[in-house]
Amino acid sequence: MLKAQDNEDLTRVGPGTIMGDYLRRFWTPILEASELPGPDCDPAEVRILGENLVAFRDSAGQLGLLQALCPHRQAPLFYGRNEEGGLRCIYHGWKFDITGRILDLPNEPPDSPVKNTIRAKSYPVREWGGVVWAYLGPADKQPEIPQLEWGTLPPSGRQIIKYVQRCNWVQALEGDIDSSHVSFLHTKLDPKGNRVGYNQQSVGYVMRDKHPKIEVVPTDYGLMIGARRDAEEDSYYWRISQWLLPYYTLIGGDLDGKLGFGEMYVPIDDTHTMVWCPRWSAGGPFTEEQRRRNIEGPDAAVRTLDPVTGELRASKANHFLQDRLLQRNYSFSGILGVREQDTAVAEGMGAIVDRTQEHLVQGDAAIVAMRRTLLGNARALRDGEEPPAAAQGSLYRVRAWSAILPRTTVSFTQDPKMPVRLALADA
Ligand code: FES
Ligand SMILES: [Fe+2]
């Protein structure tokens, strides 16, 4: 459990909060690059860390990110005309370049001083790995973009799905670093009502051993989280996930380790989170079949994404389409879709979960460590210590993995192949 003040400090992201200030030291993923497809394309509305913004590309294709409302009389710049090197407000025609400078002020005399004294607030923007990133922190502290593996691959080797979750980013993130819930929430039932697992090879181990031993190893970029389950008489099954500051996860998947997956829990505001679900194939391009399977069919992570709204059709209002017959006979939760299952429990906790009411157990060790790290880092920044991980994008060049190791191995860090499994080839 957390004290009420710690819960506030951990979760709030607006300007001037300690976590908000901390998150603003990192580059923030805001859009897929394809949402701003080319020069003078339609602008995009962005809400991030509680700030309303508008993103666009100018006639030269350069990215800009401005305050959402025009500095004149607060009309939405999103409705603006994107033309000849800037975005023009449709209310009285003020026009801004990507840095927020006024290019044209047609409802004022030519000698008006306003042109040089007023600016729209703007933030630096970059494109990397098919994603548009924004930096909302102090200009002289600009960090590096985290070199996450999917971003280093060609577009044919990655696929990104994203959707809005209606709850605070930390409780959404906690689901991903909680290795013990996969023995329950995401499992299916056999005809006799027994749970039969959520994926292929490792299913048996995850199903048999429901109270994994959690080993948490602090790193420069966050935490390595090992979940150890009994495998055979003389071996353990280890599933090692990564939590990377501030809200990235890499999940230890199947034993062959060819396909990568993880999430990015980017705060829209205190009570909404953009959940990005990158899926990638380090061994070559995704086949069409793999690509389809990520979004369709019985094993798709996201089953009810509405492409128009960007939200799940399964929601709190319809009890996440839970089917009680399905729950009795086919699945532990009765909810279709892994992400829908995670979202149902995270949103169901309330917009910001009251952590003073929890009763944590051994299986929650990684969650405790993650909270401590985030709170410690945010308070250190408040006291003048800049976050080192933000400044070193190369720290993020790591993988998650799974392994069968002998029972004599007390820590996953003794895995002799760890350096190979962890390291990315040079992009
Ligand atoms: S409100 Fe934008 S030009 Fe007047
Ligand atoms: Fe989950």
Query: Over the stretch 201-228, which tens digit does the pLDDT of each residue have?
Result: 566 787 778 888 999 999 999 999 999 9
Q: Choose the most confident range, by mean pLDDT, from 72-81, 287-296, 309-318, 332-341.
A: 72-81
* pLDDT value at residue 207: 74
Q: Can you tell me the mean pLDDT for 398-416?
A: 93
Q: Is the pLDDT of residue 181 over 70?
A: yes
- The first and second tokens of residue 259, run together, are 């396909």
SS3 content of the chain, % helix, strand, coil (to 5): 30, 30, 40
Q: How far is the CA of 71 from the centre of ligand 1 (A)?
A: 7
**pLDDT range class, residue 99, cuts 50, 70, 90:** very high
Q: Is the pLDDT of residue 427 over 50?
A: no
* pLDDT value at residue 198: 45
Mean model confidence pLDDT for the chain = 92
SS3 357: helix
* pLDDT value at residue 290: 84
CA distance 200 to 203: 6
State which residues have CB under 5 angstroms from ligand 2, the bound ion.
175, 342
Q: Is the pLDDT of residue 90 over 80?
A: yes
For ligand 1, atom 1, name the residue with the nearest CA. 73
pLDDT in tens, 254-304: 666 678 899 999 999 999 999 999 999 888 898 888 888 877 777 777 889
Ligand nearest to the CA of 180: 2
- The first and second tokens of residue 38, run together, are 């080319």
Q: Give the number of other CB atoms < 10 A from CB of residue 190.
A: 11
* pLDDT value at residue 191: 56
- Nearest CA to 240 out of 362, 397, 405 is that of 405
* pLDDT value at residue 257: 67
Closest atom, ligand 1, to C-alpha of 89? 2
* pLDDT value at residue 418: 87
* pLDDT value at residue 202: 61
* pLDDT value at residue 192: 59
Ligand nearest to the CA of 95: 1
For ligand 1, atom 3, name the residue with the nearest CA. 92
Q: Can you tell me the mean pLDDT for 115-122?
A: 95
110, 153, 260, 281, 427 from 286: Cα distances, Å: 56, 11, 11, 6, 18
Q: Which residues contact 370 (CB under 8 A, 6 or more apart)?
A: 173, 174, 177, 222, 223, 243
CA distance 228 to 216: 11
Q: How far is the CA of 180 from the centre of ligand 2 (A)?
A: 9
* pLDDT value at residue 269: 98
Output 129 or 187, whichever has higher pLDDT: 129
Q: How far is the CA of 107 from the centre of ligand 1 (A)?
A: 9
**pLDDT range class, residue 425, cuts 50, 70, 90:** low
Which residue(s) pair with 269 in the sheet?
Answer: 272
Pocket of ligand 1 (CB under 6 A): 70, 72-73, 75, 89, 91-94
CA distance 232 to 164: 41
202, 254, 358, 404, 411 from 416: Cα distances, Å: 20, 18, 38, 11, 11
Residue that the structure tokens 């048996």 belong to:
204
- The first and second tokens of residue 228, run together, are 């150890």
**pLDDT range class, residue 170, cuts 50, 70, 90:** very high
Counts for the chain of helices (H) and strands (E), in that order? 11, 22
Output 365 or 182, whichever has higher pLDDT: 365
Q: What secondary structure does DSSP assign to 159-179, as a single string? A: EEEEEEESS-HHHHHHHHT-G
